[in-house]
Structure 1
Amino acid sequence: MKSARNTLPEEPVNDVTAGIDWARDDHAVSVVNARGREIDRCTVEHSAAGLRDLVTMLGRNGVGEVAIERPDGPVVDALLRAGVTVVVISPNQVKNLRGRYGAAGNKDDRFDAFVLADTLRTDRARLAPLTPDDPATVALRRACRARKDLVAHRVAVANQLRAHLRNAFPGAVGLFADIDSPISLAFLTRFDTQDRADWLSPKRLAAWLASVGYSGKKDPAVLHAHLRAAPRGATGTHAEAEAHITHALVAVLTTLAEQIKTLSGQIADQLTAHADQHIFTSLPRSGRVRAARLLGEIGDCRARFPTPESLACLAGAAPSTRKSGQLRTVNFRWACDKQLRDAVTDFAADTRHDNAWAADLYQQARARGHDHPHAVRILARAWLFVIWHCWQDRAAYDPTQHKALQRILNPTNRQAG
């Protein structure tokens, strides 16, 4: 199936277009007429009053379409509420378009606003209006990105704690599977120095592990032997000083773990209430958080991706091909939505452990000499074609209807056919 793509009318409203160069503190605005001449310009503050002035200025000039470099934020929200059509032109495109108007190509906010406005006037056939996602999808996307950032912080602090313990208390490193696991953090809270760990015997360690509900498979005697075999850490006054750092890092990790768990629960609730949740939760190895990430990054606006190729390109799963004369090169696609690519490749990489078709595609790519990241991108591109059809049809993924999977699962039927 093909999805219809939103298009701009052949002529702009009132024969005028506007461009906004978005910045943190203020925004440059330019309005051009049908002949490409700038008829008005201003700079508005990034404040409630400034955004009202922006809408007033656009209305005074009869502007119905605005080009801007980013698809979200208070400026875009204010424009959409005012009934203005928003067209997104990426910063990379604007950088290349500056050459149309001069050889220098220098960055200037007011000039970039004019470039945006004039490009919206001249390149209408290649541009599409922004169709925002449902607020529920936007909220889910932001929650997933916030959780991803918290997980990255947790990994960084865990690495910092591990590096600190290698000098202050080496026996605690590798004692449990993960340095930031609940049992590891509980151990470091109670036994934060070499002196306190020296008090432990196999029997005492077993009693303490039982008191905190340790359910690991390692015998207390093995854990105690690890403590004894490790290099000795700091003792005495020096150890007490090092313990302050240990407690600070443990407190940060504890807080991060709690907030990640809380946010994961909220994401699961938001996903359950979403109209498209059945599509993404039906995918193999999707889980709740991974399904929520895919849904949030792809969105719910079907017109944004009229073909599966357009989705694969934005996700960076399709290579970039360049041709010049007899030279043809196929390169990694740098210009893409990094968040979407991370969500899709994370999903695709794990599906090869559960889906025979995914495993076969991955192994074929590795057999051709591709490294793991390249093979995962090849698999991600294949999955995006499947996801796109499910998404456009609003249908859950059904393995029995996945013909390529069934040919692998039933080779006898394939040979008979």
Structure 2
Amino acid sequence: MVSATMYAAVDWADRWLDCAVIARDGTRLGFRRVIYKNTSDPVAEVQDLLRSCNRTRWRTIPIGTEDPDGLVFQAMEDAGLTVVGIEPMLAARARKATTMGLTKSDRADAYLLADMLRTGGDRFRPVPRSSPEARAVRVLARAQAAAVKRRSRALHQLRAVLVTYYPAAVTAWPRLTLRHAQARAVLAAAPTPARAAALSRTELAGILRDAGRWRTVDDEAERLSLHFRRLALRTHPMVEAAKGVEMRAVLDTLDHACDAAVQLSEQVAEAFGAHADALVLQSFPGIGPLLGARILGEIGDAPGRFATARNLCAYAGVVPVVWASGLAQRTSHRRFANETLRDAIWQAAFCSLTKSPGAAAFYRRRREGGESHNGALRNLAARLLRALHHCLATHRLYDETLAFRDIHPAESRVG
């Protein structure tokens, strides 16, 4: 809970910072605009403003911001200042409903954020300080997830282009996707149906070998040669050539996205493996280096960040919200959560069904009790998170018998 005699906030822009300080009763105590080009240490300027407002306890003044991951605010944390994150959506709502009589400006936003800290109570808490190792894992894990999304987007774009003029390419690899290295190599060499039909079996075999195939190369080249030479609907040659140029541009994007995803995956695994909590996370069923890195990056390793396991489950969005008013009570899905962590723990729960007898029995019991697939999987994710909270707090590896000790041993056999 944020409780202090005065509150500060910083609204940042590309060229300056606007820092405002107010008292507990809402009185404005100070304001300063820090222009980047005029100083080499903007954090020192903010510290000077806080010191002028409270010379003895200026380090304890909470500083609100909408971007706690920004460079300036990370430097503030490293300098020992208390940084408090404020959701941009909450700030936008408060900006519309404010009665402070201020017009929209950076200065007004700084005072607004400081006033939100003053009146927010338990809604706003200081940003936990994770170690540099955990922050590096978080950056790499998010970059790898973004690269996977770009790869999927480029793959869909490639398929959409091929369907319009080159349907044989879409159906040429029934067991592989178009993002496979062999498919991309053949498409690069044969961007149009005419060029694909003109490729000889020897040329196709060479392309497949260069793409990394080393088994049944000649058989695969024979199959592709026959597939591309089948009679099919074709468009005008000029249009087909133009479509080939368009497809190559999309294919280049896909190649870059695939390479970036692979490289980032290797870097994520390396950074995650060097962290002290990696062994604990990877001891859980269904959690490998990539999922473990995403979970660690979002949870962090700040001591005492989550006081209870339920706090962690609420942060991940796997426990419901209970709304009560008088005698009425309603339970609903928790929408406000860390989406990245929620996706990672749901995927881990799904993978654990084939890795953990206890998880499979727990899921089966929930399903037999009438729960939907999503409901049973959400409860399984919550169970795994509670076990993870305990293991990280005590530095112990995952123990199947403790995590699912309420499951009868006879039920723990995967059917």
| TM bracket (short chain) | 0.7 to 0.9
Further displaced range: 177-186 or 343-352? 343-352
What is the Cα deviation at residue 374 of structure 1?
3.8
1:58 is aligned, of 50, 60, 64, to: 50
1:304 is paired with a residue whose SS is: coil
2:304 is paired with a residue whose SS is: helix
Identify the residue that residue 337 of structure 1 maps to in structure 2: 338
Q: What is the one-letter code of the residue matched to 1:354?
A: K
Matched, 1:163 2:164: no
Q: In structure 2, do the counterparts of structure 1 residues 52 and 103 end up closer, same or farther at CA, with 3 Å as the change threshold? A: closer
Q: What is the one-letter code of the residue matched to 2:350?
A: A
Q: What is the one-letter code of the residue matched to 1:184?
A: A
Identify the residue that residue 4 of structure 1 maps to in structure 2: none
User: 2:339 & 2:215 partners in 1: Cα distance?
Assistant: 37
Q: What is the one-letter code of the residue matched to 1:58?
A: L
What is the Cα deviation at residue 152 of structure 1?
0.5
Are the aligned partners of 2:361 and 2:411 in contact in 1 as well (CA < 8 Å)? no
User: 2:22 & 2:101 partners in 1: Cα distance?
Assistant: 22
1:132 is paired with a residue whose SS is: coil
What is the Cα deviation at residue 389 of structure 1?
0.6
Identify the residue that residue 328 of structure 2 maps to in structure 1: 327
Are the aligned partners of 2:360 and 2:412 in contact in 1 as well (CA < 8 Å)? no
User: 2:206 & 2:409 partners in 1: Cα distance?
Assistant: 51
User: 1:241 & 1:393 partners in 2: Cα distance?
Assistant: 62
User: 1:45 & 1:88 partners in 2: Cα distance?
Assistant: 22
Q: In structure 2, do the counterparts of structure 1 residues 354 and 408 end up closer, same or farther at CA, with 3 Å as the change threshold? A: farther
What is the Cα deviation at residue 391 of structure 1?
0.9
User: 1:182 & 1:26 partners in 2: Cα distance?
Assistant: 47
Are the aligned partners of 2:285 and 2:352 in contact in 1 as well (CA < 8 Å)? yes
Identify the residue that residue 171 of structure 2 maps to in structure 1: 174
Are the aligned partners of 2:15 and 2:36 in contact in 1 as well (CA < 8 Å)? yes
Q: In structure 2, do the counterparts of structure 1 residues 102 and 193 end up closer, same or farther at CA, with 3 Å as the change threshold? A: same
The runs of 5 or more residues in structure 2 that have no matched partner are: none
Identify the residue that residue 388 of structure 1 maps to in structure 2: 389
User: 1:184 & 1:224 partners in 2: Cα distance?
Assistant: 13
User: 1:311 & 1:291 partners in 2: Cα distance?
Assistant: 16
Q: What is the one-letter code of the residue matched to 1:133?
A: S
Identify the residue that residue 67 of structure 1 maps to in structure 2: 63
TM-score for both structures, normalised by structure 1: 0.83
Further displaced range: 390-399 or 300-309? 390-399
What is the Cα deviation at residue 338 of structure 1?
1.6
What is the Cα deviation at residue 213 of structure 1?
4.3
Are the aligned partners of 2:353 and 2:360 in contact in 1 as well (CA < 8 Å)? yes
Are the aligned partners of 1:193 and 1:235 in contact in 2 as well (CA < 8 Å)? no
User: 2:307 & 2:45 partners in 1: Cα distance?
Assistant: 36
TM-score for both structures, normalised by structure 2: 0.84
**Higher RCO, 1 or 2 (CA under 8 Å, sep at least 6)?**
1
User: 2:93 & 2:311 partners in 1: Cα distance?
Assistant: 21
Are the aligned partners of 1:361 and 1:379 in contact in 2 as well (CA < 8 Å)? yes
Are the aligned partners of 2:181 and 2:211 in contact in 1 as well (CA < 8 Å)? no
> What is the 5 A alignment of 1:105-254?
110-118=107-115, 120-121=117-118, 128-176=125-173, 177-200=176-199, 205=204, 209=208, 212-214=211-213, 220=220, 222-224=223-225, 226-228=227-229, 231-234=232-235, 236-254=237-255
Q: In structure 2, do the counterparts of structure 1 residues 266 and 230 end up closer, same or farther at CA, with 3 Å as the change threshold? A: farther
What is the Cα deviation at residue 227 of structure 1?
3.5
User: 1:104 & 1:368 partners in 2: Cα distance?
Assistant: 56
Identify the residue that residue 26 of structure 2 maps to in structure 1: 36
What is the Cα deviation at residue 126 of structure 1?
6.8
Are the aligned partners of 1:17 and 1:31 in contact in 2 as well (CA < 8 Å)? yes
User: 1:412 & 1:142 partners in 2: Cα distance?
Assistant: 38
1:329 is paired with a residue whose SS is: strand
Are the aligned partners of 2:186 and 2:207 in contact in 1 as well (CA < 8 Å)? no
Matched, 1:304 2:305: yes
Are the aligned partners of 1:194 and 1:235 in contact in 2 as well (CA < 8 Å)? no
Q: In structure 2, do the counterparts of structure 1 residues 354 and 396 end up closer, same or farther at CA, with 3 Å as the change threshold? A: same
Q: What is the one-letter code of the residue matched to 2:45?
A: D
Are the aligned partners of 2:362 and 2:380 in contact in 1 as well (CA < 8 Å)? yes
What is the Cα deviation at residue 45 of structure 1?
4.1
User: 2:53 & 2:100 partners in 1: Cα distance?
Assistant: 30
Identify the residue that residue 282 of structure 2 maps to in structure 1: 281
